[in-house]
Every structure is written in structure tokens, then in C-alpha cells.
Structure 1
Amino acid sequence: MSDTQKPQSPGPQFLGQQTPLPVSPDEAVLDYVPNPREGALYLARFAAPEFTSLCPVTGQPDFAHLVIDYAPGETIVESKSLKLFLGSFRNHAGFHEDVTVGIGQRLHAEMKPRWLRIGGYWYPRGGIPIDVFWQSGNPPEGLWVPDQGVTAYRGRG
């Protein structure tokens, strides 16, 4: 992912219309809307159990279960734009660490939540599963932060 950050969009651009999948994560636009419960301390969670990107070495698909938790500030991310953004990684080559941390950092930089964490639970590559975690700092005091609920990869055993 590039270091350039997209400006916040003025509001939902994709709701109620057919929208093609963005060609790349850098071209994807994330929509943010006002937090309907601004001032309330709460956690929102997105789970993407069928996330895919490409291995930057072999070009083969990599699969992950992503869990994104955040405590909203003034805005929340509009879910259709998030789905399109995550879908744009299907043709994006990146190491697990770059992809997972890059998604978290972009959401944090653009949405400016009170707190955000992402867990990337990647399925085995070369026989080794890779789990990647990033968070923006310590969660705010009083925020209920449940376990992400994804067990470590165990194979068939």
C-alpha cells in the first residue's frame, strides 16, 4: 500500500447502486459517515472470513480471516465501501504483514477512530500459518474489548 492517504469522502457514494470492484487498494475510496452515537464509547467489529490477496513472490492467492475492531470517534466507515476496499486486494500482491498492517493504518489515518485493531489470521503458506496483529495504541479505559474469536490454525488434527 502506498503512503499517500485518500481524503475523506463527503458521504456514502456507493449505497443503492451497482459499484465495480476497485482495481487496486490505492484506487479504492472508503466512505465515512457521521457517528450516530458520537460521544458514546463502544466497539464496532467487522469480520472478513474470506479475505484474499496475492503472494508477491508466486502470484498465488493467499487467504485470511480478518477481524477489524474499532471504537469510533466522529465518523464510522460505511460497510459497502469497506467491502469494496477489502475486495480490491484480490489482485494485489503483498506480504501478509504489509497487507494486514496497511489496512489497519489506512482505516486509522482516514477515519480517526478513538482506537482500532486488526487481526489477520492467514491460512498456511508453505505449511506455516501466519497471524498478524496491529493496533493504534491502548484501548480507551472502559471500552469492552472482546476476544476476536478466531482460534489458532490447527490443521486437520
Structure 2
Amino acid sequence: MSNKRKKTTGYTDDHAAAGLDTSFPEIETWKNQFKSYEILIDDPEFTSVCPKTGLPDFGRLTIRYMPREKCMELKSLKEYLFNYRNLGIFQENIVNQVLDDVVKATNPVWAIIVGDFRPRGGISTIVEARYPRTEDMPAR
């Protein structure tokens, strides 16, 4: 019999779900006047908090979408994104939550959210989520 213990990172299911029960403010919209164009919104100073360590996460969040009938009002989007500043939430969850909320607000033709998070411990992370969601992501 071995005395070896299984190594663990100490992350729990509570860490994994942290922040997802947050009530985010509604993203306001305005009526779109045109068809078939793309909007790119860039937040180069996005911040959040690691739910386990409490350390800040820094990154760039980009939102690309093709509006259908509604466009996001930028001041309310900025206020929405400020809610992540002190929120303990995984980077993967941020990107997917933002995608869900952008889709809920605008019902776009398509949307892509990219979180490009700065290195912590020598490792950086890029997370991308797309709408409409599919089982398989296309090859790059």
C-alpha cells in the first residue's frame, strides 16, 4: 500500500460557481438603424478577482457583435462591466456570462466575446465564447 496522497489545487465546486449567482444590471440598448455591420467594443482595463485567492485579475475584454434590432448603450455596458471589478469569478465564467448578457440584451445575429487575461504565475489565459453557441468550435 502506498502512502502517496493525491495532490489537489484546493479549488472547489463553490470556487467554480463563484460569481454566477450575481445579479448584474441590465445592459441598456437603443434601436439599430442599419443592417449587416459589426460593432467592436474594447475594454483594455478589465478587472475582476480570483474567487480562491482574492487576488486581482487584469485583462482585455473585447465584445464583437452584429446587431439585429438593438445596439448596446455604452455607458450602461461600462456600468455593467464595473460589477466584475470586485467580484470573485473565474475568467472562463466572465466571458460566458458576458456573452449570455449581451445576447439577452441585444439578440444579435452573432457575437464573440474574448477575454485576454494577463499572466499570473507565468501563465496567461485567452477565453473565447461565441453566439450562436455550437457543440464544436470551428478550427482557427
- TM-score, length of structure 1 as denominator length: 0.69
- 1:63-106 per-residue CA deviation (whole Å, 9 max, x = no partner) reads 01011000001100100000001111111110100011110111
How far apart, in 2, do the equivalents of 1:79 and 1:51 lie? 15
Give the alignment of 1:2-151 within 5 angstroms: 2=20, 26-37=23-34, 40-137=35-132
User: Are 2:113 and 2:128, in contact at CA under 8 Å, matched by a contact in 1?
Assistant: yes
How far apart, in 2, do the equivalents of 1:48 and 1:110 lie? 18
- Secondary structure, counterpart of 1:59 in structure 2: coil
Structure 2 alignment gaps of length 5 or more: 1-18, 134-140
Structure number having the greater strand percentage: 2
Structure 1 alignment gaps of length 5 or more: 4-24, 139-157
Matched letter for residue 25 of structure 2: A
How far apart, in 1, do the equivalents of 2:121 and 2:51 lie? 14
How far apart, in 1, do the equivalents of 2:101 and 2:24 lie? 13
- Secondary structure, counterpart of 1:132 in structure 2: strand
How far apart, in 1, do the equivalents of 2:105 and 2:24 lie? 14
Q: Sequence identity of aligned pairs in percent?
A: 35
* Alpha-carbon shift at residue 109 of structure 1 (Å): 2.2
- Secondary structure, counterpart of 1:29 in structure 2: coil
* Alpha-carbon shift at residue 36 of structure 1 (Å): 2.2
- Secondary structure, counterpart of 1:89 in structure 2: coil
How far apart, in 2, do the equivalents of 1:95 and 1:27 lie? 16
* Alpha-carbon shift at residue 33 of structure 1 (Å): 1.1
Matched letter for residue 27 of structure 2: L
Matched letter for residue 53 of structure 2: T
Q: Report the count of equivalent residues.
A: 115
User: Are 2:64 and 2:112, in contact at CA under 8 Å, matched by a contact in 1?
Assistant: yes
Task: Pick closer, same or farther for the CA change 1:109–1:27 going to 2, 3 Å.
Answer: closer
RMSD (Å), alpha carbons: 1.6
- Secondary structure, counterpart of 2:84 in structure 1: helix
